[in-house]
Chains A and B, each alone.
Chain A
Amino acid sequence: MSDISEDSVRHLAGLARIDLTNDEVTHLTAELSKIVDVVATVSAAATDDVPATSHPIPLTNVYRDDVVTDDVLTTEKALSGAPEHDGSRFKVSAILGEEQ
């Protein structure tokens, strides 16, 4: 059985910055418990002698040259999708707490 509780769902939602309603927390707790029970079966197959694969096609040392390209956006284009800006910078509401 999984250890998914309403509290852990709330904690995860906090980490993921999603302001879940109480109803959603209740639903997700039930659903995730079932899903986690199923997906947890992977640990049965994953023995110590098996290496992990993070990329399906192995490549290494994929680099680009240190050259500026035409991918650079104008400030206007950079800001074009912003919900709010001051003409050159993106605007956000006050930040809680201290800088990181």
Chain B
Amino acid sequence: MTDLTRHTAAELAAQLADGSTTSVAVTQAHLDRIAAVDGTIHAFLHVNPELSLAAAAASDARRAAGKPLSDLDGVPLAIKDVLVTTDMPSTSGSKILEGWMSPYDATVVTRAREAGLVPLGKTNMDEFAMGSSTEHSAYGPTRNPWDIDRIPGGSGGGSAAAVAAFEAPFALGSDTGGSIRQPAHITGTVGMKPTYGSVSRYGAIALASSLDQVGPCSRTVLDAALLHDVIGGYDRHDSTSLKDAWPSFAEAARAGAQPGSLKGLKVGVVGQYSGEAFQAGVMTRFRESLEMLAAAGAEIVDVSLPSVEYAVAAYYLILPAEASSNLAKFDSVRFGMRATLTGGGTVEQVMSATREAGFGPEVKRRIILGTYALSAGYYDAYYGSAQKVRTLIQRDFDHAFASVDVLATPTAPTTAWKLGEKLDDPLAMYAQDIATIPANLAGIPGISIPSGIAPEDGLPVGIQFLAPARHDAKLYSVAAGLEALLHAQWGGPLNSQAPDFDTSSRTQSTRGGA
């Protein structure tokens, strides 16, 4: 019998459909894999095998009755802990929400359940999605399956590592400045940030409302597209949700994977994303991918986005400002942790002590920064100016997309770094988001797919494609086109080349949020 965890979601769906396997078998295989490796990787904050197997059994019953809820009915799914779930704790990686059970499901979780997907558990993340390494999780870091002494990227390091380590075929993530795409780049997986408003934010614990977007993480472009088809579309609970009739992203991915699909495609290469900030191996694989695209008939054009120079600065004003307000609700009154003070204390003292004890250093740093950026006398210079930079970046993209179909950049400047390496240097950490942030500021979609392994350190790197707002299908098509060429060269997905990590050398780390 083949190892079911090595299959893609699309392959598993096909096997479930033809009866060659069952959801219980598939789910059990992934639970076994989690039990075997997650003590080392720590991709999950919470798993509940009973719950998952019950959902799998229900799926098998539907299949047997000839009434599957969707093509994906019975395929397991990992869920980032930023998404609220009624049957598993939702902590957003924070102590302040330890053990909290939401009385409602996030819309994307509801849709996944309605499609028959089997939730495997909740994945680790930087606290409230603030970080690029998952080291800011209150429950300990996730490790990169390619090298367990290195970070898996962030904030969605748990979802990316779970997928990369074959603990789940695909996973849900959220991307505020790169939290889906940068971990994909770091772990050799696929991550897609949809157009802002394409996927509902209802039930995604807010970091920065005008930047957050939920999206899929997977090992192949098609799997990401399949998941996007399940979770996307209009939701009355989210005012920023778009009412567009979206095409099937899976169809776009399948069509893109056909030979000849890249012919005549105009790809813009952003001049700003090169130079010494970018690691040599990252640029080598990026250029190789461009050459491959050109050989397949795409036209490679140089473009300039002059205002992206200000993107990181604008982002680190808008995000903390919105986050400082979004995180005010964690006050010990209606949910979550409450600090105990001797003598009781006033409600004001209890709130302040709770937030002191419940938030980690990065969260405090950003809340204070955001409070500063919004405070009287500073608003115009900081938040107001950052919103203007947003306009400039949108104009840059509009200008570029007037002459090209998609833009291509390296997803992030470097490969995975060692755990702890950048923890004391917030600005170095923030600089990791340089290529991913502009898409969030402009609301446009972006996808990262593996482009190879950096020769100097043997670690995976990714290439990012960006498309105009609402053109998510284009990204799936282009990414699937390049992926097909790369897979042909590699003989399969990049992650099948990952070195097997040693699961015996680490002690089981404590599970948080359970």
Q: Quick check: do A and B touch in the complex, using CB within 8 A? A: yes
User: Chain A interface (Cβ within 8 Å of chain B)?
Assistant: 4, 8-9, 12-13, 15-21, 24, 28, 31-32, 34-36, 38-47, 50-57, 59, 62, 64, 71, 73, 77-78, 80-84, 90, 92-96
The answer, yes or no, to whether B442 is at the interface (CB within 8 Å) is yes
Find the residue from B347, B371, B427 having the highest chain A CB count within 10 A.
B371
Complex interface residues of chain B between 313 and 355 (CB less than 8 A to chain A): 313-314, 316-317, 324, 328, 331-338, 344-353, 355
Contact (A53, B382) CB under 8 Å given A35-B369, A82-B335, A93-B347 = no
The answer, yes or no, to whether B367 is at the interface (CB within 8 Å) is yes
**Which residues of chain B come closer than 8 Å to A80, judged between CB atoms?**
101, 103
**Which residues of chain A come closer than 8 Å to B394, judged between CB atoms?**
53, 56
Distance A8 CA – B382 CA, assembled complex (angstroms): 16
Check A18–B367 contact: CB distance below 8 A. yes
Distance A78 CA – B197 CA, assembled complex (angstroms): 28
With A42-B388, A56-B390 given, can you name 12 additional A-B contacts, CB distance below 8 Å? A19-B349, A19-B352, A32-B368, A39-B386, A46-B384, A46-B386, A52-B390, A54-B210, A62-B239, A73-B103, A84-B338, A92-B333
Find the residue from A42, A44, A56, A84 having the highest chain B CB count within 10 A.
A42
User: Can you list 14 A-B contacts (CB < 8 A)?
Assistant: A13-B368, A16-B371, A17-B351, A17-B352, A35-B426, A38-B312, A39-B373, A43-B381, A50-B388, A53-B387, A59-B242, A81-B335, A82-B334, A92-B347
Q: List the B residue with the shortest CB-CB distance to A11.
A: B375
The answer, yes or no, to whether B411 is at the interface (CB within 8 Å) is no
Distance A64 CA – B352 CA, assembled complex (angstroms): 36
Q: Which size class do B's interface residues fall under? A: 35 or more
Contact (A43, B210) CB under 8 Å given A19-B355, A57-B195 = no
Where chain B touches its partner, the secondary structure class is helix
Q: B130 → chain A, closest Cβ, in Å?
A: 13
Check A42–B385 contact: CB distance below 8 A. yes
Check A40–B381 contact: CB distance below 8 A. yes
**Which residues of chain A come closer than 8 Å to B197, judged between CB atoms?**
57, 59
Check B391–A52 contact: CB distance below 8 A. yes
Of B348, B391, B443, which one neighbours A17 at CB under 8 angstroms? B348
**Which residues of chain A come closer than 8 Å to B337, judged between CB atoms?**
83
Distance A36 CA – B442 CA, assembled complex (angstroms): 23
The answer, yes or no, to whether B254 is at the interface (CB within 8 Å) is no
Check B387–A57 contact: CB distance below 8 A. no
The 8 lowest CB-CB distance pairs between A and B, nearest first, are: A56-B443, A81-B335, A46-B385, A52-B387, A46-B388, A83-B338, A19-B352, A19-B356
